[in-house]
Amino acid sequence: MMILFTLCLCLWLEALVSTARGLDFRYHNTVEVEQYLKAINKNYSSLTHLHSIGKSVEGRDLWVLILGKYPTEHKIGIPEFKYVGNMHGNEVVGRVLLLHLIEFLTQGYLSDPLVTRILNSTRIHILPSMNPDGFEASTRDCMYSEGRFNKHGVDLNRNFPDAFEKDEEEKREAEVRAVMDWLSSEPFVLSANLHGGAVVASYPYDNSNGGGELQRGSSVSPDNDVFVHLAKTYSLNHTHMHKGNNCYESKDFKEGITNGFYWYPLSGGMQDYNYVWGQCLEITLELSCCKYPSESELPGLWAVNKPALLAYMQQVHLGVKGQVLDSAGAPVQNALVEVEGRRNLCPFRTDRNGEYYRLLLPGNYTVKVTAPGQEPVMKTLSVPYGPDSFSALMHNFVLQRSSSSSTSISSSSIPDVTHPTESCTSMVRNPAGSHSANLLGPGLMPSLALTLCRLLL
């Protein structure tokens, strides 16, 4: 009798533990990841949305799981965030962490207060593997593996358009095209790209052509203060990244962060592309010295990264956001929203809803909004620390039709500034469903002229 009871108790406990255990800490292959994402999407159908943003060279889907209170579509005022893992197929820790993050977020919704607030205020896109072909080709090696590259032997983190060096468009790989299209289909605000082989948070720029951006060995962007804050948010909330010097014979990274170019220059990187053309601030997270660690290390890696992954997402609420409207209250697409003192290579523009998002540290900023045929508007805003309240400062701009036919050109036309290698208007947000013909409407010519003016100055 006693034995039977004990047996029952044990079986019950075993069942309890195994459901609580959930996703196991091991490397899931492409088919298993797909099954997992589909199961999550089925079990949490109102909190998640699953779609493929394209296919790899070998035809594997690039699955993205979207999480949030409104997972199926963008809502005005709710910022879009993304995490991208496994771009280098043999750097596998990010891929594992993102699956566990998905589990943690879905299970924590409406029970964990932080998770609930994040998911109620943010739309989160997770691409666990950008290079599934590379993953399948990888050997479990700490440093070297063919799986770094895609099926064509191309390093995807060297294959994006580069702001500082011209290249040929035909070179673009399928995985890179898919990410570029994805970036233009959603108004992403903040992102991180998860790698391995070091332990550090690296931020733009990764490249330079020796212009004004090059400062004491670093390639410094106009939003450097924000990038340093973002990188530190990750490294300080990570158990030991901020201590620097985590890997044998590696550079000593002060506070666990580095400017990308200062570490080593590279062209065609994804983070610079996100920032320059996508208006999406992206950093690169190197999460383990060994690129393909043994499975026994995975629970520990999740534990040290989990608070950092959450804190980083919350930073999507920095700064100021809102809509640009005309005097009739209609959204103005493609209006320039410029922050004084920040000369972005491509100025930030409003999207199809007339929305803008601008990540800024707390302080006072003068924001200038310009649109063809409208009087420019300038406003000084006092920006608080948004992440604490899970919302950036909200500020809408209302424009009045300009009386004179000449629209004044942006005042911030200071010469001696580097220009991107491709036109800024080539990456106007062109969401699925909206006709690209819209972009060729009357609004385009003045903005093109503006871009040309800048190029000539």
Residues 56-85 touching ligand NAG, rule: CB under 6 A, are 69
Q: How far is the CB of 395 from ligand NAG (least distance, A)?
A: 14
**How many CB atoms within 10 Å of residue 358?**
26
How far apart, in Å, are the Cα atoms of 41 and each of 37, 44, 52, 119, 325?
6, 5, 13, 15, 36
Q: Which residue stretch of 38-46, 206-214, 291-299, 426-434 sits at the interface with ligand NAG (rule: CB under 6 A)?
A: 38-46
- Angle at Cα 295 formed by Cα 294 and Cα 297, nearest 5°? 75
Q: Which stretch binds ligand NAG (CB under 6 A): 51-59, 71-79, 115-123, 429-437?
A: 115-123
Task: Give the residue nearest to Zn ion (CB).
Answer: 195
Which candidate, 92, 98, 31, places its Cα nearest to that of 64? 98
Q: Which stretch binds ligand NAG (CB under 6 A): 36-44, 144-152, 209-217, 338-346?
A: 36-44
Give the ranges where 250-394 is alpha helix by DSSP (H).
260-263, 270-276, 298-314
Number of residues lying near Zn ion (CB under 5 A): 3
**375 counts as catalytic:** no
Pairing of strands 363-370, 336-339: antiparallel
Nearer to Zn ion, 269 or 386 (CB): 269
Q: Among 50, 114, 311, 377, which residue interacts with ligand NAG (rule: CB under 6 A)?
A: 311
User: Using the rule CB under 6 A, which residue among 6, 29, 43, 426 binds ligand NAG?
Assistant: 43
Per CB under 5 A, which of residues 84..103 are in contact with Zn ion?
Answer: 88, 91
Using CB under 6 A as the binding rule, whether residue 363 contacts ligand NAG is answered as yes
Listed ranges 35-43, 244-252, 398-406, 424-432: which one lies at the site for ligand NAG (CB under 6 A): 35-43
Identified catalytic residue from 34, 91, 286, 338: 286
10 Å CB burial of residue 351 (0-12, 13-18, 19+) is buried
Q: Using the rule CB under 6 A, which residue among 33, 40, 124, 220 binds ligand NAG? A: 40
Helix (H), strand (E) at residue 279: none
- DSSP characters for 4-45? HHHHHHHHHHHHHHHHHH-S-SS---HHHHHHHHHHHHHHTT
And the tokens for 455? 């190029």
CB under 5 to 8 A by kind: which of Zn ion, ligand NAG, none does 120 bind? ligand NAG
Between 67 and 163, name the residue whose CB sits nearer to ligand NAG.
Answer: 67
Of the two residues 219 and 237, which places its CB atom closer to ligand NAG in the complex? 237
Of 119, 136, 133, the residue nearest 61 (C-alpha): 133
Stretch that binds ligand NAG, among 199-207, 229-237, 331-339, 438-446 (CB under 6 A): 229-237
Q: Which is nearer to ligand NAG, 120 or 423 (CB)?
A: 120
39 binds ligand NAG (CB under 6 A): yes
Please report, to the nearest 10 degrees, the dihedral formed by the alpha carbons of residues 80, 325, 318, 159 taken in order: 50
Nearer to ligand NAG among residue 43 and residue 72 (C-beta): 43
Under the criterion CB under 6 A, does residue 114 sit at the interface with ligand NAG?
no
Integer CA distances (angstroms), 192 to 188, 312, 353, in order? 11, 9, 25
**Torsional sign, CA 268, 318, 244, 237:** negative
Rg, the chain, Cα only: 23
195 binds Zn ion (CB under 5 A): yes
Give the span between the Cα atoms of 419 and 395, in whole angstroms: 29
Active site residues per annotation: 286
Interacting residues with ligand NAG (CB under 6 A): 36, 39-40, 43, 69, 116-117, 120, 232-233, 236-237, 311, 363-364, 382
